[in-house]
Amino acid sequence: MRIFAQLFSSLDETNKTTQKVQILKEYFVSVADEDKIQTLALFTGRKPKRQINSTLVKNWAMEMAGIPAWLFEESYQVVGDLGETIALLLPQAIETQDKSLSDWIAEINALSPLSEAEKKAWLISAWQSMDQQERFVFNKILTGSFRVGVSQSLIIKALSEISGLETQVLTHRIMGNWDPATFSYSQLIQETDGSEDISRPYPFYLAYAIQETSSQSKTAKEINSALGNTEDWQAEWKWDGIRAQAIQRKGEIFIWSRGEDLATDKFPELHPFLSELPEGTVLDGEAICFADNCPLPFSVLQTRIGRKNLTKKILAESPMAFIAYDCLEFEGEDIRHLPMKERRAKLELLQKNSSHQHIFRLSPVVNFNSWDELFEMRKRSREEYAEGFMLKKLDSPYLVGRKRGDWWKWKVDPLSIDAVMIYAQKGHGRRADLYTDYTFAVWDQDKLVPFAKAYSGLTDKEINQVDHFVKRNTLEKFGPVRTVKPHLVFEIGFEGINKSSRHKSGVALRFPRIMRWRQDKKIEDADTIETLKEFLQ
Amino acid sequence: MLSKPLLEFNDNGIYCAAGNFYIDPWRPVKDAIITHAHSDHAKWGHSHYLSHTLSREVLKYRLGDINLETMDYGQTCIRNGVQISFHPAGHIIGSAQVRIEYKGEIWVVSGDYKVEDDGICEAFEPVKCHSFISECTFGMPVYKWKSQEFIYEEMNKWWRQNLEEGKTTVLVGYSLGKAQRILQGLDMSIGNVYTHGVIENTNEALRRNGVQLNPTIRVTPETNREEMRKGLILCPPSSVGTPWMRKFYPYSFGYCSGWMALRGAKRRRAADRGFVLSDHADWDGLISAIKATECETVYLTHGYTASFSRYLSEIGYDAHEAHTLYGGDEANELDEDPVKLVNQDGEVIEKPEEDSTPQKVLSDSEKSIALKKAKKAGGAL
């Protein structure tokens, strides 16, 4: 565990990717194979099941540290991370041990039959044998909150350089349902793919945004000079659902979300069409709510994603469809290398043969003759219930991960409104002990009504300035939240807006974020609730 | 029993009505007693200053030609029948706790302090009193320092490693206090220590005061870059991200501060290495210091005053938050007033309140003005 904890802090201490890869390589060659695969599992979000709930962990830590609950809470506010707070508060270790990462994970996994008292005794003796950095990493694993500031592609790169396997091959092999307890490092790196996992999805191909922000809006001319001839490109609407990969192999079906969550059970409406597909078919598309031949807003889909049980009512209110846009496996063969127009032809064939065409839909190809024409059409995206366009090169293969060049997303500019900051709360992680999470309000007559929370969009320098302002202009404190003197105005961008009975303002925004700090505006210049509600139409 | 408290907090600072003097006032007053030379404690514009002998040259360097009287630890002076004496605070060279005695009542103002003996300044000495005015910059139980020997060892190891990798070692710490402490903790057999102008000016002031410091070389445009690669460069936080620092590329840069104890703060600084080295007392240090005074009443000045006073109340003290301008509640990031950046000599002074402001945020134009002025005065380069 000490080596793993050391890996974690070494990765923390550099921002340079080449150095991160080097650190990972040195780590991987220095540890046993079980630790290699456990590390890979942790770094790709495959955490061991949480065996002790965090309230108990907290209570036992307070007891061991000898501090009252309120002081623990305030310490947590300062540190911004539970695992780290506990690591810092506990008294120094009284012994040491040399258990490996896999040893500890095995112990965690064996906890479930133990009584609460036994778990407590185990945890306290574990804490007593670890230094601060070990405790921190251990706590993160134990409480199921392990995250690391290293992208999957860097780990793949390190493993690829060690094993000699191509990065695309490794990326595919670590997709899907595997468990570090049964999948070994030697299986991962053997010459031919040893996996018998029929559920395994392909890595998603992700597009970059053609324009990063609305303030850098691209003209049709710029698009033309960047992408060239329109005849080489296919445009589709960018749908506002959940990107999903639908698999039918050996009569079994699987639906994976882009976050690599197996979501088959969430979408029972999609099962009949999937089961009917020929064996060995994998489709890429959008799971989206659909009624009367028309996509429904994302908020409808949102109501069902979080549910454990899909009641009849929910199924009736949020009927699902699958808008397919690519075919990755056909007749049991991986066809990702074929040009898109050939893959599209196979997809169209599958759809044509389906007896569930109202559920299994094709993402229509949008015809256009010039970028000017498409530019104009893009402005109508919201009327088409889309977020803009996807542009795909007709001869493009289906690549792995986020790549530039062949696929682009061209999103519609976000909606925006000028609002006043009225509450602030401290952030977490890198933003711990800094006021970075804000609540914004617009005018309702002479009162400010809160309507959105946002915590991204400012530069570090601006965050420092706002933090400084908050600390000196606090009107009241409610636990971690501060009421701030209304003074600062920000332009808030958002993707969509819906009526909401749960919010004071009567509306809920989709993906609100700070577009810019309007230092040129006074609070009187902020928008009103009426302006905001006009977006509802 | 006195009719009113011996010391009170008013708009100017900590005031003793009976003696008609202030301790660390933040507005110009007639009679100021200064605990130490960091500039949130030693402000410009008072008619008369009283400080510890070892603060003399630094105060003159920072504040110019002031009317200054000095006194050693243990010596006593009287103002209107109020007895005043200095006692080691262990914070930086020349830092003093101020003991005030009047009609049998004793108050102590800690200024800033740490309890670990750093071997450079006189070690902290608890002073028995009825009321104690204490700082609590790191008054949360998550702050627990490791011994300085451990930190020095890490630091020297890192320097050696950079040397092997062909990188310049750049270490950031406040110019008064932290810089000298680092300097004494370095293994001088590894290489030369180069100093940023602001730090070297401070070192020179201290040497004029008779303080023995390890040898240092001031960085000037003529300093040999190749030689510097093997050495270690000490510079203040204000130089982070400036063209001055970029010239040393490729380098590895380390940040020395108590705030480095938290991962979030460390990542924000984006330093290659964070060394948790503070000249303030940690949680256990604060509590042991307060206990050792055997006081009944505690006033908390800067840092986590609300949480710390609540905790002290729970363990039986009559504890109060005091509102001062020494950083203020949680003000650990930003400086209020950029005017302070440059002293009368036109030299750059980084935000001086030691640890409690790890990062100075200046606009680029402010930075370039400050740098230009400093260059003219021969300070920064």
Asked whether the predicted pLDDT for residue A180 surpasses 50, the reply is yes
Distance to chain B for A51, nearest Cα, Å: 26
Asked whether the predicted pLDDT for residue B329 surpasses 90, the reply is no
Which residue of chain A is at minimal alpha-carbon distance from B362?
A461
For chain B, residues classed under CATH 3.40.50 are 148-277+345-376
In a domain, A296, yes or no: yes
Angle at B61 between CA B58 and CA B65, to 5 degrees: 115
Instruction: Decide: A175 and A203 in contact? Cβ < 8 Å.
Output: yes
Q: A352 and A386 in one domain?
A: yes
Given CB atoms, is A139 within the 8 Å cutoff of chain B?
no
Asked whether the predicted pLDDT for residue B307 surpasses 50, the reply is yes
DSSP state of B167: -
Q: Which among A67, A431, A468 has CB closest to B334?
A: A468
Q: A427 and A361 in one domain?
A: no
Q: A315 and A448 in one domain?
A: no
**Arithmetic mean of pLDDT, B195-214:** 96
DSSP for A48-69, written as a single string: PPP-S-HHHHHHHHHHHHT--H
CB contact under 8 A, A81 and B329: no
Q: Please tell me whether residue A241 adopts helix, strand or coil conformation.
A: coil
Q: Which among A74, A432, A468 has CB closest to B264?
A: A432
B140 chain-A contacts, CB cut-off 8 A? 74-75, 78
What pLDDT was estimated at residue B238? 86
What pLDDT was estimated at residue B179? 95
Asked whether the predicted pLDDT for residue A141 surpasses 80, the reply is yes
| Helix spans in B176-241 (H) | 178-185, 197-208, 225-230
Q: What is the CATH number of the domain that holds A137?
A: 1.10.3260.10
Q: Please tell me whether residue A161 adopts helix, strand or coil conformation.
A: helix
Cα–Cα distance for residue pair A391/A233, rounded to 1 Å: 7
What pLDDT was estimated at residue B226? 86
Q: A265 and A117 in one domain?
A: no
Asked whether the predicted pLDDT for residue B356 surpasses 80, the reply is no
The confidence band for A222, taking pLDDT boundaries of 50, 70 and 90, is: confident
CB contact set of B254 (below 8 Å; sequence gap of 6+): B155, B158, B169, B170, B171, B172, B271, B272, B273, B274, B275
> To which CATH superfamily is domain B8-142+280-331 assigned?
Ribonuclease Z/Hydroxyacylglutathione hydrolase-like (3.60.15.10)
Q: Which of A360, A348, A292, A354 is nearest to A323 (CA)?
A: A360
Out of A58-67, A98-107, A478-487, B230-239, pick the least confident.
A478-487
A to B CB pairs, distance under 8 Å: 87
Q: A384 and A236 in one domain?
A: yes
Interface subset of B 235-264, CB within 8 angstroms of A = 261-264
Cα–Cα distance for residue pair B356/B371, rounded to 1 Å: 23
Distance to chain A for B148, nearest Cα, Å: 16
| Span B232-248, pLDDT tens digits | 999 998 888 888 888 89
| Span A228-277, pLDDT tens digits | 899 999 999 999 899 999 999 999 999 998 877 888 988 999 999 999 99
CATH 3.40.50 fits B148-277+345-376, yes or no: yes
DSSP state of A364: P
Distance to chain A for B272, nearest Cα, Å: 5
Q: Which of B341, B15, B303 is nearest to B140 (CA)?
A: B303
A131 chain-B contacts, CB cut-off 8 A? none
Given CB atoms, is B331 within the 8 Å cutoff of chain A?
yes
Distance to chain A for B265, nearest Cα, Å: 7
CB contact under 8 A, A84 and B262: yes
Distance to chain A for B249, nearest Cα, Å: 14
Bridge partners for B134 per DSSP: B300
Given CB atoms, is A478 within the 8 Å cutoff of chain B?
no
**Arithmetic mean of pLDDT, A348-372:** 95
| Span A444-457, pLDDT tens digits | 988 999 999 988 78
| Span A489-523, pLDDT tens digits | 999 998 888 888 878 888 888 889 998 899 888 89
Which residue of chain A is at minimal alpha-carbon distance from B269?
A430
Which residue of chain A is at minimal alpha-carbon distance from B330?
A471
Q: Which among B267, B310, B333 has CB closest to A430?
A: B267
Q: Which of B23, B21, B34 is nearest to B62 (CA)?
A: B34
Q: Is the dihedral of CA B103, B105, B110, B116 positive or negative?
A: positive
Given CB atoms, is A434 within the 8 Å cutoff of chain B?
yes
In a domain, A299, yes or no: yes
**Arithmetic mean of pLDDT, A73-88:** 93
The pair of structure tokens assigned to B376 is 């003219």
Cα–Cα distance for residue pair A470/A435, rounded to 1 Å: 7
Out of A130-139, A405-414, B36-45, B342-351, pick the least confident.
B342-351
Q: 3-state SS string over B102-146?
A: ECCEEEEECCCCCCCCCCCCCCCCCCCCCEEEEEECCCCCCCCCC
Q: A57 and A90 in one domain?
A: yes
Q: A349 and A232 in one domain?
A: yes
The confidence band for A63, taking pLDDT boundaries of 50, 70 and 90, is: very high
CB contact set of A102 (below 8 Å; sequence gap of 6+): A32, A34, A35, A38
What pLDDT was estimated at residue A382? 82
Cα–Cα distance for residue pair A36/A300, rounded to 1 Å: 42
CB contact set of A285 (below 8 Å; sequence gap of 6+): A243, A244, A246, A322, A323, A324, A325, A326, A363
Q: Which of B13, B7, B8 is nearest to B26 (CA)?
A: B13
A74 chain-B contacts, CB cut-off 8 A? 140, 304, 307
What pLDDT was estimated at residue B354? 32
In a domain, A152, yes or no: no
The confidence band for B346, taking pLDDT boundaries of 50, 70 and 90, is: very low
A428 chain-B contacts, CB cut-off 8 A? 264
B311 chain-A contacts, CB cut-off 8 A? 68, 71
Distance to chain B for A85, nearest Cα, Å: 7
Out of A279-288, B108-117, B259-268, pick the least confident.
B259-268
**Arithmetic mean of pLDDT, A30-41:** 95
Cα–Cα distance for residue pair B57/B42, rounded to 1 Å: 13
**Arithmetic mean of pLDDT, A185-208:** 85
Q: A421 and A396 in one domain?
A: no
Given CB atoms, is A70 within the 8 Å cutoff of chain B?
yes
Asked whether the predicted pLDDT for residue B22 surpasses 70, the reply is yes
| A424: containing domain | 415-534
Give CA torsion, residues B223, B228, B232, B238, to 10 deg: 50
Q: What is the CATH number of the domain that holds A307?
A: 3.30.470.30
CB contact under 8 A, B330 and A431: no
**Arithmetic mean of pLDDT, A101-118:** 96
Q: Which of A442, A389, A395 is nearest to A413 (CA)?
A: A389
Asked whether the predicted pLDDT for residue A281 surpasses 60, the reply is yes
What pLDDT was estimated at residue A24? 96
Q: A509 and A420 in one domain?
A: yes
What pLDDT was estimated at residue A298? 82
Instruction: Decide: A491 and A421 in contact? Cβ < 8 Å.
Output: no
Instruction: Decide: A414 and A492 in contact? Cβ < 8 Å.
Output: no
What pLDDT was estimated at residue B375? 43
Q: Which among B262, B328, B332 has CB closest to A79?
A: B262
CB contact under 8 A, A467 and B311: no
Asked whether the predicted pLDDT for residue B336 surpasses 50, the reply is no
CB contact under 8 A, B263 and A467: no
CB contact under 8 A, A433 and B334: no
Asked whether the predicted pLDDT for residue A473 surpasses 90, the reply is no
Q: A231 and A246 in one domain?
A: yes
What pLDDT was estimated at residue A500? 83
The answer to whether the pTM exceeds 0.80 is: no
**Arithmetic mean of pLDDT, B372-381:** 40
Interface subset of B 341-360, CB within 8 angstroms of A = 359
Q: What's chain B's average pLDDT? A: 85
Q: A460 and A321 in one domain?
A: no
A75 chain-B contacts, CB cut-off 8 A? 140-142
Please say which residue of A411, A426, A460 terminates a domain: A411
Better-scored residue on pLDDT, B101 or B329: B101
CB contact under 8 A, A471 and B263: no
Interface subset of A 73-102, CB within 8 angstroms of B = 74-75, 78-81, 84-85, 88-89
Better-scored residue on pLDDT, A217 or A44: A44
**Arithmetic mean of pLDDT, B58-63:** 94
Q: Is the dihedral of CA A285, A287, A293, A295 positive or negative?
A: negative
Which of left, alpha, beta for B46 (phi over 0: left; psi -120 to 50: alpha)? beta
Distance to chain A for B302, nearest Cα, Å: 14
B141 chain-A contacts, CB cut-off 8 A? 65, 67, 71, 75, 88-89
| Span B273-295, pLDDT tens digits | 999 999 999 999 999 999 999 99
What pLDDT was estimated at residue A194? 66
Instruction: Decide: B155 and B186 in contact? Cβ < 8 Å.
Output: yes
Q: Which among A13, A432, A460 has CB closest to B273?
A: A13
CB contact under 8 A, B361 and A464: yes
For chain B, residues classed under CATH 3.60.15.10 are 8-142+280-331
Give chain A's domain count.
3
Q: Which among B142, B331, B334 has CB closest to A79?
A: B142
Q: What's chain A's average pLDDT? A: 90
Instruction: Decide: A310 and A268 in contact? Cβ < 8 Å.
Output: yes
Q: Which of B336, B344, B38, B65 is nearest to B202 (CA)?
A: B38
Distance to chain A for B192, nearest Cα, Å: 25
Q: A420 and A406 in one domain?
A: no
Q: Which among A70, A81, A430 has CB closest to B268?
A: A430
A429 chain-B contacts, CB cut-off 8 A? 263-264, 267
Cα–Cα distance for residue pair A379/B22, rounded to 1 Å: 67
What pLDDT was estimated at residue B239? 87
Please say which residue of A87, A107, A142 terminates a domain: A142
Which residue of chain A is at minimal alpha-carbon distance from B266?
A430
CB contact under 8 A, B142 and A81: no
CB contact under 8 A, A78 and B304: yes
Given CB atoms, is B142 within the 8 Å cutoff of chain A?
yes
Q: What is the CATH number of the domain that holds A429?
A: 2.40.50.140
Given CB atoms, is A437 within the 8 Å cutoff of chain B?
no
In a domain, A269, yes or no: yes
Task: Please give the ipTM for the structure prediction.
Answer: 0.84
Q: Which among B265, B307, B311 has CB closest to A433?
A: B265
Out of A232-236, A298-302, A446-450, B9-13, pick the least confident.
A298-302
